[in-house]
Amino acid sequence: MASTTRQQAAADKRRQILDAAVRVFARQGFHQCRVSDIADEAGVAYGLVYHYFDSKEEVLDTLFLERWDVLLAMIAELDAREELSPREKLYRIASFIFDSYRHDPELMKVIIVEVTRAANSFGLTHLTKIQEAYQGIARIVERAQEEGQFHTGVSAEFAALAFYGAVEQVLTAWIFEVLPHGEEDFDRAKEFVVETVCSGLDVGRTD
Amino acid sequence: MASTTRQQAAADKRRQILDAAVRVFARQGFHQCRVSDIADEAGVAYGLVYHYFDSKEEVLDTLFLERWDVLLAMIAELDAREELSPREKLYRIASFIFDSYRHDPELMKVIIVEVTRAANSFGLTHLTKIQEAYQGIARIVERAQEEGQFHTGVSAEFAALAFYGAVEQVLTAWIFEVLPHGEEDFDRAKEFVVETVCSGLDVGRTD
DNA sequence: CGGGTGATTGACTGACCAGTCAATCCAATC
DNA sequence: GATTGGATTGACTGGTCAGTCAATCACCCG
């Protein structure tokens, strides 16, 4: 177990750097911070960051993928659950995303602001990964349309984009404090987004 | 009128620089391009950019505000039009934005990618302006709720965010070619976004 | 014309910072 | 207690660019 201790210590240091990076990226932004800021925040020498990562970008990269892959797995799993209504599926996706923010606002801020909404070179690197999320949502909508639970007047791709766009926009509003967000707002937001996308704003629905 | 000619020439040069900046920003991105790229594209000396603008950012600034102020005026004007249904009002806002893209995709790409979705220092500078758009849309929704045309189960702010988020997401998908966009897709997009937000995806509506 | 004012030029400077690297440390192993 | 190799250090380098500025140009007015 001796070597395990060594490996464990190394893995801990790596994580320590990643955690520090989240705080620094959230506070200053990816482009505005220096690698030395991350090292300082982690209480580690400058060069060590380059021992564990090839570049500054790879640090952000790692943070994004760690979390995004969980989302993708979650969407895929949801798609297969025949017993759930499409509305319930969308509700769970919205829940997952909003709860991710509730649980770790700094990490979600970094992911949304520096990757998902970042149209610069970096955002493009992960375009495929981001698209996978849209496509997963679109598949859920499509299936609901085939089964007659959603009407077919709107293409599934558009619907997925609209749903995801609404979620991200609310999150962005929270991140930049354009919209207040107390503890109860998280659950309201889930309901609201799903309600809007599924039932719309018009009066005269059954619901 | 001699001095007018002089002034006119100067104004033309300024515009020439702005137009070049749109192309360069759209092609390379704000942070990725150098001021010399703008000057070269405009066929003008490096220093002249600084004769007409205080900084690289002021160039982007100017491009954004020129267009965004038109949008804000349009929303405000729409809000006052008693005879239009809320659905029609939202349709016109979506139309304005999508048509702006159709008419000048490079400019809209710059505005969306480098300002509206740019959460970095620059996006924050214009947060207030961007918020004004949300608030304008929210006012339209609110008014529709008061008059019983929209149900009150969703707060007007959330609805506005969802609507704008959906529009921006579709635009972003076009910009990054995640979604194809032939000439007929513009009109489809307007319908789809408004349909989704107003009537929702559920079956069993009157419409 | 001649002087003045604003337009135009582009070389240069100063600051910044990602990534490198040679040196040092230290824990595990024999 | 000597050896080895990964972990750790931080000074340094090389390249990039925004913004400055002194010089030059061209139009206009008296």
Q: Is B179 helix (H, G, I), strand (E, B) or coil?
A: coil
Give the separation between CA A206 and CA B174, rounded to whole angstroms: 35
- A180, closest residue in chain B (CA to CA): B157
Q: Which residue has the tokens 């610069």?
A: A120
pLDDT of residue B123: 67
B13 touches strand C (CB under 7 A): yes
Q: Is the pLDDT reported for residue B163 higher than 90?
A: yes
Backbone angles phi, psi at A49, to 5 degrees: -60, -40
The CATH code of the domain at A55-201 is: 1.10.357.10
Phi-psi region of B43 (alpha: psi -120 to 50; beta: other; left: phi over 0): left
- B110, closest residue in chain A (CA to CA): A119
Give the separation between CA B91 and CA B43, rounded to whole angstroms: 41
Chain B: nearest CA to A13, how far in angstroms? Answer: 28
- Mutate: best of A202, A203, A205, partner B, most B CBs <10 A: A202
What CATH homologous superfamily does A1-53 map to?
Homeodomain-like (1.10.10.60)
Q: Give me the residue from B87, B131, B165 closest to A165, CB to CB.
A: B165
Q: Which residue type sits at B186?
A: F
Listed as ranges, the nucleotides of chain C within 7 A of a protein C-beta are 6-12, 16-22, 27-29
Most confident stretch, A199-203, B58-62, B115-119? B58-62
Contact A120 B197 (CB under 8 A): no
The residues of B between 34 and 53 with beta carbon within 7 Å of nucleic strand D are: 34-36, 46-47, 50
Is residue B94 within 8 Å of residue B55, measured between CB atoms? no
More confident residue, A120 or B125: B125
B11 touches strand C (CB under 7 A): no
Chain A: nearest CA to B11, how far in angstroms? Answer: 31
Q: Which residue type sits at A126?
A: H
- B191, closest residue in chain A (CA to CA): A154
Quick one: which of A137, A113, A14 has its CA closest to A64?
A113
Is residue A179 within 8 Å of residue A173, measured between CB atoms? yes
Instruction: Average the pLDDT over B88-108 and give the result.
Output: 97
A with B: how many residue pairs have Cβ under 8 Å apart? 186
Chain B: nearest CA to A18, how far in angstroms? Answer: 20
DSSP string of A5-55?
HHHHHHHHHHHHHHHHHHHHHHHH-TTTS-HHHHHHHHT--HHHHHHH-SS
Where residue B205 falls among pLDDT bands split at 50, 70, 90?
A: very low
Listed as ranges, the nucleotides of chain D within 7 A of a protein C-beta are 6-12, 16-22, 27-29
DSSP string of A70-122?
HHHHHHHHHHH-TTS-HHHHHHHHHHHHHHHHHH-HHHHHHIIIIIIS--SHH
Chain A: nearest CA to B119, how far in angstroms? Answer: 6
Long-range CB contacts (< 8 A, 24+ apart) of A23-28?
A23/A106, A25/A60, A25/A63, A25/A110, A25/A114, A26/A105, A26/A106, A26/A107, A26/A109, A26/A110
pLDDT of residue B143: 96
User: Could you say which residues of chain A have pLDDT below 70?
Assistant: 1-4, 120-123, 203-207
Q: Is the pLDDT reported for residue B207 higher than 70?
A: no
DSSP string of B131-177?
HHHHHHHHHHHHHHHHTTSB-SSS-HHHHHHHHHHHHHHHHHHHHTT
Instruction: Average the pLDDT over B101-123 and give the result.
Output: 90
pLDDT of residue A206: 42
* Every domain of chain A and the residues it spans: 1-53, 55-201
Half-sphere exposure of B148 (CA within 13 A, CB side): 1
Where residue B60 falls among pLDDT bands split at 50, 70, 90?
A: very high
Quick one: which of A65, A127, A118 has its CA closest to B177?
A127
Give Cβ neighbours of residue A118 (< 8 Å, ≥ 6 apart). Answer: A30, B117, B118, B119
Contact B192 A154 (CB under 8 A): yes
Is residue A141 within 8 Å of residue A159, measured between CB atoms? yes
Give Cβ neighbours of residue A130 (< 8 Å, ≥ 6 apart). Answer: A68, A115, A116, A123
B48 touches strand C (CB under 7 A): yes
Contact B199 A203 (CB under 8 A): no
Give Cβ neighbours of residue B85 (< 8 Å, ≥ 6 apart). Answer: B149
